[in-house]
């Protein structure tokens, strides 16, 4: 069987393979604590679950999704962005629902890249960005995210010849894996830079509603001229505790939205209609549950960060996301050796920073997806491991 050569240009997602390993460890009787998976132990609010259940029971809601008008959901998404970020968007031309934002992260490269075209990809970053470039036949050029720059890309350090070649640049704030945040000033600089070099900005913002300490993450689309140069992805997965629903959105530049809709017209038939109904109810409904949810993550964050600091591991206290990004402790050769050794000896899995790229080496990521008690147990095991 002759497979595509481009499959050699990226690795399979480590998380899938690790879930199989951790499952096997559990069947062997080990008390595994998985601090790698970014799927929190939270549920959609009851009114959303009821909205979905009622929509499912309606016998008229089970045609192909393209049978129904997408406008109510598009309008709900546009209205949510206007309330949350002050961004006024045309539901018809500047908003597109997605089968989870991950679908859009994959298709965007088909919309913007021809074989050999350059995409600027942050490093460290969610691995799907670089993999999507490779699958589309593009060339990914790394943009380092360094601690001394607060894990923001140094736009001035991108060589002018590289900037002129680039068709697109990825940004993701609040950031996975570093949990860093960007302010509106950075986004304005990014818009000006993108306009200067004719580069499409692809902003990924799924953690906008997971925030702490009175911090409220901005949207790329809040910057003047943002819709002229780019788009933003967002999702109900994290904001509304709906990871399994697979409901996301892309908003912004009309040309890119139109291109994405063209690709999707062949790749799928739309979102299951009861989920559209429930998602519309979510976006138009109350958000008071978010305060308690974010308070819970704040408490978990503090348990982990305080424990790491007591162990001599200097961890930044994040203002957003449910991740903690920390340096590998002294005495370990690299992030992979540290994380796999800890897993073998204490049955706790944390993701090595090298999984996220060259500049992720020297760090590891913890997901705050367990109770404070369980996270405390994981930190106790880490203390024992480090001796």
pLDDT of residue 123: 98
186 in the same domain as 73: yes
What is the CB neighbour count within 10 angstroms for residue 373? 9
Residues 211 and 342 grouped into a single domain: no
92 & 52 share domain: yes
Q: Do residues 333 and 224 share a domain?
A: no
Q: Measured between alpha carbons, how far is 123 from 144 in angstroms, rounded to an integer?
A: 5
Hey, is 12 helix, strand or coil? coil
Same domain, 200 and 253: yes
Residue 334's domain is classified under what CATH number? 3.90.1150.10
Whether 203 and 299 share a structural domain: no
Same domain, yes or no, for 261 and 338? no
Instruction: Indicate which CATH number applies to the domain containing 137.
Output: 3.40.640.10
d(CA 153, CA 359): 12
Domain that holds residue 78: 46-284
Domain stops at, among 239, 259, 284: 284
**Rounded Cα gap, residues 125 and 144, in angstroms:** 10
Q: Of the candidates 241, 261, 284, which is a domain's last residue?
A: 284
How would you label 123-149 residue by residue, b for 16+ Cβ within 10 Å and e otherwise? bbbbbbbbbbbbbbbbbbbebbbeeee
If phi > 0 it is left, if psi is from -120 to 50 it is alpha, else beta; for residue 298 that is alpha
Please state, as a whole number, how many other Cβ atoms lie within 10 Å of the Cβ of residue 260.
23
One digit per residue, the tens of pLDDT, for the chain of length 387 reads 888 888 888 887 777 788 889 999 999 999 999 999 888 899 999 999 999 999 999 999 999 998 899 999 999 999 999 999 999 999 999 999 999 999 999 999 999 999 999 999 999 999 999 999 999 999 999 999 999 999 999 999 999 999 999 999 999 999 999 999 999 999 999 999 999 999 999 999 999 999 999 999 999 999 999 999 999 999 999 999 999 999 999 999 999 999 999 999 999 989 999 999 999 999 999 999 999 999 999 999 999 999 999 999 999 999 999 999 999 999 998 999 999 999 999 999 999 999 999 999 999 999 999 999 999 999 999 999 998
Say yes or no: 158 and 123 in one domain: yes
Q: Let me know whether 210 and 90 are in one domain.
A: yes
Closest CA to 184 of 205, 167, 199: 205
320 and 378 share one domain = yes
211 with 114, same domain: the answer is yes
User: Using an 8 Å Cβ cutoff, are 349 and 343 in contact?
Assistant: yes
Q: In which region does residue 86 sit, left (phi positive, over 0), alpha (psi from -120 to 50) or beta (all else)? A: left
Q: Is the peptide bond before 166 cis (omega within 30 degrees of 0)?
A: no
Regarding whether 294 and 273 lie in a shared domain, the answer is: no
* Number of domains observed in the structure of the chain: 2
- 3-class SS at 213? coil
Show which of 256, 284, 312 is a domain's final residue: 284
């Amino acid at each position: 069987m002759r497979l595509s050569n481009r499959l050699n240009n990226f690795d399979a997602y480590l998380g899938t393979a690790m879930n199989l390993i951790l499952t096997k460890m559990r069947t062997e009787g080990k008390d595994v604590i998985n601090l790698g998976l970014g799927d929190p132990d939270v549920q959609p609010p009851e009114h959303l679950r009821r909205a979905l259940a009622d929509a499912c029971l309606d016998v008229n809601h089970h045609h192909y999704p393209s049978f129904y008008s997408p406008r109510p959901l598009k309008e709900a998404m546009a209205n949510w962005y206007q309330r949350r970020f002050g961004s006024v968007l045309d539901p018809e031309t500047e908003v597109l629902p997605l089968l989870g934002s991950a679908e859009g992260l994959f298709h965007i490269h088909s919309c913007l890249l021809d074989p050999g075209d350059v995409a600027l990809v942050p490093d460290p970053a969610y691995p799907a960005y670089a993999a999507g470039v490779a699958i589309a036949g593009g060339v990914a050029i790394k943009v380092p995210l360094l601690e001394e720059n607060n894990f923001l890309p140094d736009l001035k350090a991108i060589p002018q010849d590289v900037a002129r070649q680039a068709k697109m640049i990825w940004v993701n704030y609040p950031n996975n894996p570093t949990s860093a945040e960007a302010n509106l000033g950075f986004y304005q600089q990014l818009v000006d830079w993108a306009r200067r070099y004719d580069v499409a900005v692809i902003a990924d913002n799924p953690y906008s509603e997971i925030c702490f300490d009175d911090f409220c993450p901005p949207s790329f689309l809040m910057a003047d001229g943002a819709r002229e140069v780019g788009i933003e992805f967002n999702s109900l997965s994290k904001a509304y505790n709906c990871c399994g629903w697979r409901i996301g959105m892309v908003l912004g530049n009309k040309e890119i939205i139109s291109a994405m809709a063209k690709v999707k017209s062949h790749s799928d038939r739309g979102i299951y209609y009861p989920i559209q109904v429930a998602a519309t109810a979510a976006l138009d409904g109350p958000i008071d549950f978010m305060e308690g949810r974010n308070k819970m993550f704040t408490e978990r964050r503090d348990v982990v960060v305080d424990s790491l600091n007591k162990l001599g591991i200097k961890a930044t206290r994040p203002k957003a996301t449910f991740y903690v990004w920390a340096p590998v402790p002294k005495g370990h050769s690299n992030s992979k050796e540290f994380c796999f050794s800890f897993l073998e000896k204490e049955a706790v899995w944390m993701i090595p920073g090298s999984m996220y790229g060259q500049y992720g080496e020297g760090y590891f990521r913890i997901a705050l997806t367990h109770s404070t008690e369980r996270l405390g147990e994981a930190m106790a095991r880490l203390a024992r491991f480090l001796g």
